[in-house]
Homo-oligomer: A and B are copies of this chain.
């Protein structure tokens, strides 16, 4: 599949690994990139650990990968220096307006993506100069916005509001979800929960097994600091394990490359099913 997004990011398949704090490291990011998607290194509080993950990812794949860069990260200037020095081509800014870091990133030829949860945010970050907008619905796992607008509502409205390519995130784990995202005007999808349940993810096994056990009704939103996060209800560790509603669809761990291959194989039957009905 080819479109403006795959060309801009230099990837084969429009499937992006969402940056995950602590558990989305080099091994997982490299596996996703090697499989033709876009791996994203999640944030690490320690600057050194984070720098090591970037070097490790680079040693594991020659393909493009992205690095998550929250605007509130400690030593933000140093992180930007490292990103540039290490030749990272794609940065995902988050949590705050990326306006101030754009000159440095664009000056180094870096493509900047940003995750938003509303149309207003999308307009603001486009004005700040980001190249790709990830529109993340409130069914997603991990930190969620206060208003939690769903992916199905958010994506077409963001597509209408901005000119840059839009990626759909939240509630997606298969090829049907990717084709639905294309129908809404997105050019790709970002997945988090699906990639936790892979051998390459460094999340503890209890977390992966809880995702596999979960039904679609088994997540809830709980306070996390000043914000809120979507977690599994899970009796063993109530409110501790982050996951999106799509955990309900996930029934087994699967290597990252198999996840991407399966999603891309599912595109054609999903497309055919639409075609049959639209053309009937």
Contacts and interface: CB of A to CB of B under 8 A. Distances in A.
Interface of A: 1-3, 118-120, 137-139, 147, 149-154, 156-157, 170-172, 174, 176-177, 179-185, 187, 215-217, 244-246, 248-249, 267-268, 270-271, 273-278, 280
A182 B274 contact: yes
Nearest to A275: B271
Contact of A153 (B154, B216, B274, B276): B216
Contact of A152 (B1, B120, B137): B137
A273 B185 contact: yes
Contact of A156 (B119, B249, B274): B249
Contacts of A3: 276-277, 280
Contacts of A177: 152, 156, 184
Nearest to A14: B277
A172 B30 CA distance: 37
B183 A217 contact: no
Contact of A184 (B180, B244, B248): B180
Contact of A274 (B149, B215, B271, B280): B271
Contact of A176 (B2, B118, B184, B267): B184
Contacts of A274: 179, 182-183, 271, 274
